Amino acid sequence: MSGLEVALAGGAGGFAVEVAFSADAGVTALFGPSGAGKSTVLRMIAGTLAPRAGRIAAGGRVLYDSARGIDLAPHRRGIGFVFQDGRLFPHMSVRRNLTYARWAGRRGGGRPLAEVVALLGLGALLERRPATLSGGERQRVALGRALLADPALLLMDEPLSSLDRARRSDILPYLEAVRDQARIPIVYVSHETDEVARLADTVVLLQAGRVVAAGPAAELFARVDVSGPAGEAEAGALVAGIVETVDAAYGMARVALSGGAIEIPAAGLAPGRSVRLRVRAGDVALALERQSGLSIRNQLACRVIEIAGGPGPHALVSLALGRQRLLARLTRKSVDELGLAPGRPVVALVKAVSIAPPGAGRDAD
């Protein structure tokens, strides 16, 4: 399956954007603070905002090429777009909204309606009107509607930002299901670290209209020199693993990682499931040897790779855990008193309760 290639220069309202990235099937997050140009880039890919120059190709088709004078209208780009505010048609039932691309857009019938309805749990909503739906239901319908347009590329512009925290975690599993079933590139715009950590395969970090870093999510999140929009305080590594056992009596799961195992709250996990965990750097403490008499349930043997510390009181320590990376945020004073240096073996202490209920990991295929 051919992916997405983007190279764009342009701007809107005195605000300049210059980006280049490519994406394959799976979620590519355009990640950055508000005003970084994420939505601008997305609108240029969709064709609702004209770039000054560049080239966009998706699914083997050129959508835009300033050098060759190609600029397809939005309705000819074969995309699906999930807007921040849903943008459901208020005068149509959910069913008519879902099938809009079929009857008004003449898009072919790739996915059966019933399949999308089942995937997103829309069965009970079909005859309802958008005005009667909750915010979360609306975004699920918007997602289904975009999928039923049989897009070669799915664009999502902060689809969860209009929802409160509880609703977001209701929708995330649906987004994961779409990610795992739709074998197309998905470009996901967000400034929420947790969403990106949970969904993204690849991360493109934008700042002031430019790409400052890009790469596989786990690698990017483990870098000490790159911090997300929330800043260094929110830094944290992504680790992938497989649920080994679930202790039903205590509601705990043991997840096997490369280089160790970690205990976390089970929250509906079953053995054999692959999961992705975000371990915040601020939730990781370091010790020189294993400790006893601690409530902290996870002690992971690691090796120091790199220490980044500025003039401030904090330091960010990158650790090797098997083939994976962890980040620990300490004071520079601790770093010096423990004598931490690259190559030094340490034990990372991680409280089980600090780890959020994980999203489903992506099975290798």
Partner 1 sequence: MGAAEWAIIGLSAKVALAAIGVALPLAFAVAWLLARRRFPGRALVQALVNMPLVLPPVVTGYGLLVLFGAQGPLGRALEALFGLTVAFRWTGAALAAGVMAFPLLVRPIRLSLEAIDRGLEEAAGTLGARPPVAFLTVTLPLALPGVIAGAVLGFAKALGEFGATITFVSNIPGETQTLSLAIYALLQSPTGDAAALRLILASVVLALGAVLASEWIAARLGARGAR
Select the span of 76-84, 222-230, 272-280, 285-293 touching partner 1 (CB under 8 A).
76-84
Whose Cβ is closer to partner 1: residue 119's or residue 156's? Answer: 156
Sign of CA dihedral 202, 207, 210, 212: negative
CA distances from 263 to 109, 173, 297, 347 (A): 45, 22, 7, 15
Is 329 buried (19+), middle (13-18) or exposed (0-12) by CB count in 10 A?
A: buried
Q: Is 143 in the site for partner 1 (CB under 8 A)?
A: no
Distance from C-alpha of 365 to C-alpha of 363, rounded to nearest angstrom: 6
Select the span of 63-71, 78-86, 109-117, 196-204 touching partner 1 (CB under 8 A).
78-86
Member of 41, 63, 101, 239 binding partner 1 (CB under 8 A)? 101
CA distances from 29 to 52, 78, 233 (A): 23, 20, 20
Q: Is 145 in the site for partner 1 (CB under 8 A)?
A: yes
Site string for partner 1, 148-187 (x = CB under 8 A): -x--------------------------------------
Taking the complex as a whole, how short is the minimal distance between the CB of residue 7 and partner 1, in angstroms? 21
How far is it between the farthest Cα atoms of the chain? 69
> If we measure between CA atoms, which residue out of 182, 230, 173 comes closest to residue 31?
230
Member of 38, 107, 191, 223 binding partner 1 (CB under 8 A)? 107
What count of other Cβ atoms lies within 10 Å of the Cβ of residue 124? 10
Q: Which two tokens stand for residue 309?
A: 């510390």
Q: Is 74 in the site for partner 1 (CB under 8 A)?
A: yes
Sign of CA dihedral 74, 80, 61, 37: positive
Residue 335 has phi, psi (to 5 degrees) of -55, -45
Q: Is 100 in the site for partner 1 (CB under 8 A)?
A: yes
Whose Cβ is closer to partner 1: residue 100's or residue 351's? Answer: 100
Member of 48, 134, 181, 331 binding partner 1 (CB under 8 A)? 48
Is 249 buried (19+), middle (13-18) or exposed (0-12) by CB count in 10 A?
A: exposed
What count of other Cβ atoms lies within 10 Å of the Cβ of residue 322? 13
Q: Is 332 in the site for partner 1 (CB under 8 A)?
A: no
Taking the complex as a whole, how short is the minimal distance between the CB of residue 157 and partner 1, in angstroms? 11
**Using only C-alpha atoms, what is the Rg of the chain?**
22
Taking the complex as a whole, how short is the minimal distance between the CB of residue 126 and partner 1, in angstroms? 13
Q: Is 61 in the site for partner 1 (CB under 8 A)?
A: no
Whose Cβ is closer to partner 1: residue 48's or residue 258's? Answer: 48
CA distances from 245 to 274, 276, 321, 322, 354 (A): 12, 16, 21, 20, 19
Taking the complex as a whole, how short is the minimal distance between the CB of residue 232 and partner 1, in angstroms? 36
Q: Is 140 in the site for partner 1 (CB under 8 A)?
A: no
Whose Cβ is closer to partner 1: residue 75's or residue 303's? Answer: 75
Q: Is 111 in the site for partner 1 (CB under 8 A)?
A: no
- How many residues interact with partner 1 (rule CB under 8 A)? 30
Distance from C-alpha of 313 to C-alpha of 246, rounded to nearest angstrom: 40
Member of 14, 34, 68, 106 binding partner 1 (CB under 8 A)? 106
Q: Is 13 in the site for partner 1 (CB under 8 A)?
A: no
Select the span of 61-69, 79-87, 282-290, 294-302 touching partner 1 (CB under 8 A).
79-87
Whose Cβ is closer to partner 1: residue 105's or residue 271's? Answer: 105
Buried b / exposed e over 216-241, threshold 16 CB at 10 Å, is ebbbbbbbbebbbbeebebbbbbbbb
Q: Is 44 in the site for partner 1 (CB under 8 A)?
A: no
Binding site for partner 1 (CB under 8 A): 46, 48, 73-81, 83, 85, 87, 89-91, 100-101, 104-107, 128-129, 131-132, 145-146, 149
